[in-house]
Amino acid sequence: MKRPILYHPDPRLKKSCAPVDDLTDDLRTLADDMLATMYDAPGVGLAAPQVGALTRLIVLDCVKEEGEKQRPLIMFNPQLLGVSDALNTYEEGCLSIPEQFADVTRPAEVEVSWIDRDGKEHREGMDGLWATCVQHEIDHLDGKLFIDHLKPLKRQMITRKMIKFKRELARG
């Protein structure tokens, strides 16, 4: 089931999320709903706080090539175990900050651990878009948005645009 996405500025997007201690059916349903929401948006990643759930859960699928098999990942308690010294700059966007993009520099490669929807532990090295996306989504779990990586003036400009966007949405 598709869930509504929260838009910046919303105080829930700035909160740290609690770790998942017990994988319940409700959490599995949340994860499945988040994947459906992400694909529908369309996006390559989504964090639980973006749909109003303050729990350490992200979903991603960075396969973008036409005809290539999707690779949906559900990550409970994702954790960066290590990052490279080498950096990459990507133009990032966010489903909670629609139509706003900016270059963000992050480590080019990361080592990530997580628990899947069946409770199985995983560990994987990621690079390219996958590395950027997983770092972006983990940031959400710590109450950080991609615009928090920008200079204050650019961040304020985007925030003002989002306030206007939300006002126009509310008017219908």
Q: Which residues are catalytic?
A: 137
| C-beta of residue 34 within 8 angstroms of C-beta of residue 46 | yes
* Residue 18 per-residue DSSP state: B
Give CA–CA dist 97/7, Å, rounded: 6
Q: What is the CA radius of gyration of the chain?
A: 16
65 conformational bin, left if phi > 0, alpha if psi -120 to 50, beta if neither: beta
| C-beta of residue 60 within 8 angstroms of C-beta of residue 77 | no
E strand map for the chain:
45-47, 57-60, 73-83, 87-94, 97-107, 109-115, 121-127
Q: How far apart are the first and last CA of the chain?
A: 24
